Chains A and B, each alone.
Chain A
Amino acid sequence: MTPAIETEDLRVSYGKLEVLRGVTLGIPAQQGVVLLGANGCGKSTLMRSLNALEKPQSGTIRIHGETLSTASGTRLREIRRGMGYVFQQFNLVPQLSAFQNVLLGAMGRHRLGLLGCLSLTASAEERARAMHSLERVGMVDRALHRPAELSGGQQQRVAIARMLMQAPRVVVADEPIASLDPKAGREVLDLLWRVVREEGLSMLCTLHQLDLAREYADRVIGLKAGRVAVDAAIGDTDTEQLNALYSGMTDQDDEPAGVAA
């Protein structure tokens, strides 16, 4: 079976700063992986590259065997359609209701784009699917609320419903609970992993809490200063190894002179 996500010697830099310095990893289908690492170690850049929101300098990315780095136009959109993205800041459109925001998740699969998923013009089938997605995240009674009228946790639930609406095969979640309080964060994370398991999706999810990582993940990948430092099944990691990700030279800037390219 082709891996859901595969990267080979991925390098990204901003000006002189090399953020990713040759990341190679593979995530098989239906595996749930937690990505750990200190702030600034390149986690977000890696996630964004996987969706081509960031352009790598070199290296290859394959999503379900399709090469992302060379894809553009329709093919790029095709690959993106198969990948659900959950953001730290939820990224709902503030002026639209939760229901309309969820409907927008279907935009990629309609030839007419927006027309296929406006509340006014969407087919009865898509409208029903959007409502069902909201039901699965427990937000049916808030369907007509705008994001500003919802709590952070509720907004992230709506964002997860939008992701469900998209019906992806692989999910990338970039610190999905970092802006939520511990209780709401826990609930959202529960929901996210439950949905991912129920749908049989693969997921790469960044987290900052080691205990939560242990609880949910099949496997842990640790990033340190732009390189993979830990990559092991969750049972094979010890706390010391994971804590080391957060100590010492975690930033690309910290690298001693001479070593940095």
Chain B
Amino acid sequence: MSEHTNIPPRFRAPSALTWVLVVGFAAFFIQGIVASDISLDRLVRGASNLVRFLGQAVPPDFSRAPNIADAMLETLNIAVVGVTFGCILSVPLALLAARNTAPNALVRTFARFVISVSRTIPDLIWALIFVVTVGLGPLAGILAIIMDTIGFAARFYSERFEEVQKGPSEALTSTGAGRLSVILGAILPESFASMTATSLFSVEKAIRSAVTLGLVGAGGIGVELSTAMRLFRYDQAAAIILVILVVVVAFEQLSSTIRKRII
């Protein structure tokens, strides 16, 4: 064999940056375990508490079924109304944020900023903010869902707009059509199927969020659940959790069926 051939080494020492990252992560992880005081003893006690909780939760108590149904309906209202407004508001925002439809870089940066703020702030925090501003109840929940939907839907709409093939919009531009007409005539129809799928995802996401929003007082079934838990009525809590489970699964099935039909 020739001495000139350089056979790649079996192992290459990781770079300094890799070392820093690995050691840093490991240190943070160990500190986390120590700080949260994890011990076998506590886990064993936790398991026996869980058994006691389950013992009290079974059989679930459906005696408050009418109230639960009311609260569930309110949850669905929050989700549906919030997601509808959210999706409607997302369309113009996404058009302003997409590279090929934004009027200029300044507007685009601003629109992207608005979208990323609505996305980075979690829905529960939006709910807390709106409970403070508009008071307890479903309106706060609706506003929180709107913000949450904008963060999700506007981002995916605008990514879809940017992926649209250039040809058809160019063809309409070449006929002397205005910018808005080109967007409405070519870019929106091309994105429509994907936008519908995104909107249905938003509905699923919104129903899941709407359930938890009640925990901070923003209306819906979460209010019932947190009350039942605080009063140690685990049997009533179990009934509520079962209802949530059934409704959420049913809605996800429905929406995935519709999505499959469209795409």
Q: Out of B173, B180, B192, which one reaches A53, CB within 8 Å?
A: B173
B170/A94 in contact, CB under 8 A:
no
* Chain B 177-215 interface mask (CB, 8 Å, partner A; 1/0): 110111011100110110000000000000000000000
Name which residue of chain B comes closest to A147, CB basis.
Answer: B168
Interface residue A62 (Cβ < 8 Å from any Cβ of B) = no
Q: Out of B170, B185, B193, which one reaches A114, CB within 8 Å?
A: B185
With both chains docked as a complex, state the minimum distance between the C-beta of A27 and any C-beta of chain B, in angstroms: 18
Q: Out of B167, B185, B192, which one reaches A107, CB within 8 Å?
A: B185
| A114 touching B171 in the complex, CB below 8 Å, given contacts A77-B176, A77-B178, A96-B189 | no
Interface residue A104 (Cβ < 8 Å from any Cβ of B) = yes
Contacts of B190 in A (CB 8 A): 93-95
B192/A83 in contact, CB under 8 A:
no
With both chains docked as a complex, state the minimum distance between the C-beta of A199 and any C-beta of chain B, in angstroms: 16
* Chain A 75-114 interface mask (CB, 8 Å, partner B; 1/0): 0011111111101011111111000000011011100011
Name which residue of chain A comes closest to B178, CB basis.
Answer: A113
Interface residue B172 (Cβ < 8 Å from any Cβ of A) = yes
A80/B186 in contact, CB under 8 A:
no
Q: Most chain-B CB neighbours within 10 Å: which of A79, A89, A107, A109?
A: A107
Contacts of A96 in B (CB 8 A): 189
B177/A77 in contact, CB under 8 A:
yes
A53/B175 in contact, CB under 8 A:
no
Contacts of B48 in A (CB 8 A): none
A80/B181 in contact, CB under 8 A:
no
Contacts of A105 in B (CB 8 A): 175
Q: Out of B167, B177, B181, B184, which one reaches A87, CB within 8 Å?
A: B167
In the bound complex, what is the Cα–Cα distance between A109 and B171 (angstroms)?
A: 15
Interface residue B174 (Cβ < 8 Å from any Cβ of A) = yes
Contacts of A109 in B (CB 8 A): 176
With both chains docked as a complex, state the minimum distance between the C-beta of A81 and any C-beta of chain B, in angstroms: 3
B189/A93 in contact, CB under 8 A:
yes
With both chains docked as a complex, state the minimum distance between the C-beta of A94 and any C-beta of chain B, in angstroms: 7
B174/A80 in contact, CB under 8 A:
yes
Q: Out of B176, B180, B189, B193, which one reaches A108, CB within 8 Å?
A: B176
Contacts of B174 in A (CB 8 A): 51, 53, 80, 83, 85
| A81 touching B175 in the complex, CB below 8 Å, given contacts A93-B186, A94-B190, A107-B185 | yes
With both chains docked as a complex, state the minimum distance between the C-beta of A117 and any C-beta of chain B, in angstroms: 8
A107/B172 in contact, CB under 8 A:
yes
Contacts of B180 in A (CB 8 A): 113-114
A89/B167 in contact, CB under 8 A:
yes
A108/B168 in contact, CB under 8 A:
no
B181/A85 in contact, CB under 8 A:
no
With both chains docked as a complex, state the minimum distance between the C-beta of B128 and any C-beta of chain A, in angstroms: 41
A85/B171 in contact, CB under 8 A:
yes
A78/B176 in contact, CB under 8 A:
yes
Interface residue A166 (Cβ < 8 Å from any Cβ of B) = yes
In the bound complex, what is the Cα–Cα distance between A114 and B175 (angstroms)?
A: 12
With both chains docked as a complex, state the minimum distance between the C-beta of B182 and any C-beta of chain A, in angstroms: 8
B185/A93 in contact, CB under 8 A:
yes
Contacts of B175 in A (CB 8 A): 80-81, 84-85, 104-105, 107-108, 162, 166
Contacts of B172 in A (CB 8 A): 93, 104, 107
B171/A87 in contact, CB under 8 A:
yes
In the bound complex, what is the Cα–Cα distance between A51 and B177 (angstroms)?
A: 12
Name which residue of chain B comes closest to A82, CB basis.
Answer: B176
Contacts of A79 in B (CB 8 A): 176
Contacts of A114 in B (CB 8 A): 177, 180-181, 184-185
In the bound complex, what is the Cα–Cα distance between A78 and B177 (angstroms)?
A: 9
Q: Out of B173, B185, B192, which one reaches A80, CB within 8 Å?
A: B173
Name which residue of chain B comes closest to A109, CB basis.
Answer: B176
With both chains docked as a complex, state the minimum distance between the C-beta of A32 and any C-beta of chain B, in angstroms: 20
In the bound complex, what is the Cα–Cα distance between A80 and B178 (angstroms)?
A: 11
Contacts of B186 in A (CB 8 A): 93, 104
B177/A94 in contact, CB under 8 A:
no
A–B pairs, 7, beta carbons within 8 Å: A78-B176, A80-B176, A92-B168, A104-B186, A109-B176, A159-B171, A166-B175
Residues of B within 8 A of A (CB): 167-168, 170-178, 180-182, 184-186, 189-190, 192-193
Known: A95-B190, A107-B177. 13 other contacts (CB 8 A): A77-B176, A80-B175, A80-B176, A83-B174, A87-B167, A91-B168, A92-B168, A95-B193, A104-B172, A104-B175, A113-B181, A114-B180, A114-B181
- 9 closest Cβ contacts across the A-B interface? A108-B176, A113-B181, A81-B176, A80-B176, A91-B167, A91-B171, A107-B177, A85-B174, A95-B189
